[in-house]
Structure 1
Amino acid sequence: MSVSNTSKLSNAAVNAAQNNTNTSGNGTSIANNFDQFLTLLTTQLRNQNPLDPLDTNQFTQQLVQFAGVEQQLKQNETLTALLGVSKATTGASAIGFVGQTVTADGAATQLKEGKAEWKLNASKGGTATITIKDASGKVVQTGTTTLTAGDQTYSWDGKTSTGSTAPEGEYTITVDAKDLAGTAITVKTEISGVVDGVDFSTAVPTLLIGAIKVPLDRVKSVKSGS
């Protein structure tokens, strides 16, 4: 094997390892390339021409490149371990919400025992058209209400626009509001309920209020008990 060919193979191993680090983060692939590099390097040193030895600068550059790859691999392993610890800590924290009443950003809540409530926050006073939809997106009730600036509660008794009683389940509110001059105003919606479970299937644990999923970062307040 010639020095130049072996050197090219070593460079190829370096590039392959760097590409795997940048694209897939696959530790096994990087380790395999590192072993390949060491094999090529020792073969290169063993078969080099004594009258024309391997260029010192090139040799040093290859070692530095792979030292950087190995360091990055270790950093990735450390980050993975830290993420695992963080997820476990977050999960333990989420369990503490079970049985507590939380208020969170959101538009979907549960109709239960003939009652559903949303907290509204209007930037100005005015009037609003309220639209309530079921879990399938079907409109079940529309109406109008007067808004005041700031926080307020909108309650629904479960009666549909046709006068029938809607079944218990998940319902979403939409608020189309205007001030006294007829200009559109912003209305934020919040939901409130007792957490009865935690979903760990997502990247970040999600609180469950019946069938409603509430990400932890949307929780605004917590109260003890129901």
Structure 2
Amino acid sequence: MVDSVSGAATTSSSDLGTSRKTIADNFDTFLQLLITQLKNQNPLEPLDTNQFTQQLVQFTSVEQQLKTNEFLETMMQSSQNSTNAQAVSYVGKTVTASGATTDLIDGKANWIYRVDAAAENTNITIKDASGNVVYTEAVSLAAGTDQIVWDGTTSSGSKLTSGQFTITIDARDSNGKYVPVTTEMQGVVDGVDVSGSEPFILIGDLRIPLSSVSSVHASASSPAPDPETPETEQEAA
């Protein structure tokens, strides 16, 4: 689903236009009353010019504020449209985004991870959309960035072909001390939702905020691991 790229602040624009029209009508009425008063004032007791001068200044100040608001709103709308257009350009491309949930597509679910230090005693747990554990494995992870690819085979030996799955990586070093791990997911964008204040890219049934996207690739191929770390892909089979 790709919603309209340009529908964001129509309500506020309408409210601003109404406010400006009200100020203009009130100002016209004020001028008419002022002119009538000046025409019919008592020459011996003329009107105090300070009073209507202050009123003129107040009308001018309000008008300037409305124009400033209108300018700021136009800038915000332009920025929002630019962000929406950027999100739409991701359709059909492979993105990597922060998060631990991804889809099992064509017999493969892929996660990217970064571990701060070597974690010899690591447990990987994969759960389905209902929170049921479908796969566990004990592995040893080297420090750096790499990927975990799961082919849908559960711990009981059955084969899953589709669905959403969440990975948990409990990484610990040789002394059992916890090692921080950052997990990302990867998939091909098949839609964009720009109906809210922030665009969401759609990968299957997943809704991922644009701000969480860390990389974009033109093809569906997996990105190469960090060149500074050895290539040790963990195959969870």
User: Which residue identity does 2:22 align to in structure 1?
Assistant: N
- Between stretches 69-78 and 24-33, larger displacement belongs to 24-33
Contact 2:189 2:203 in 1 (8 A): yes
Runs of 5+ consecutive residues of structure 2 not aligned to the other structure: 1-11, 221-237
* Equivalent residue pairs, number: 202
Contact 1:45 1:54 in 2 (8 A): no
Residue 78 of structure 1 is aligned with which of 71, 80, 100?
71
Greater relative CO, 1 or 2 (CA 8 Å, sep 6+)? 2
Contact 1:195 1:208 in 2 (8 A): yes
Rounded Cα–Cα distance in structure 2 between residues aligned with 1:64 and 1:136: 64
Contact 1:117 1:154 in 2 (8 A): yes
Question: 1:69 Cα shift?
Answer: 2.0
Q: Aligned pair 1:132/2:126, yes or no?
A: yes
User: Which residue identity does 2:69 align to in structure 1?
Assistant: N
Cα distance per residue 1:17-70 (max 9 Å; x no partner): xxxxxxx883214532552354246435644864262351x4333333332221
- Between stretches 183-192 and 213-222, larger displacement belongs to 213-222
Q: Which residue of 1 aligns with 2:110?
A: 117
Q: Which residue of 2 aligns with 1:43?
A: 33
Question: 1:116 Cα shift?
Answer: 0.8
Q: Which residue of 2 aligns with 1:31?
A: 21
Residue 56 of structure 2 is aligned with which of 54, 57, 63?
63
Question: 1:195 Cα shift?
Answer: 2.2
> Which structure carries more helix by proportion?
1
CA RMSD of aligned residues (A): 2.9
Give the TM-score of the pair, scaled to structure 1: 0.73
Secondary structure, in 3 states, of the residue corresponding to 1:184?
Answer: coil
Question: 1:170 Cα shift?
Answer: 1.7
Residue 106 of structure 1 is aligned with which of 99, 108, 115?
99
Runs of 4+ that moved beyond 6 A: none
- Between stretches 180-189 and 25-34, larger displacement belongs to 25-34
Secondary structure, in 3 states, of the residue corresponding to 2:216?
Answer: strand
- Distance change >3 Å, CA 70–CA 179, structure 1 → 2: farther
Runs of 5+ consecutive residues of structure 1 not aligned to the other structure: 1-23
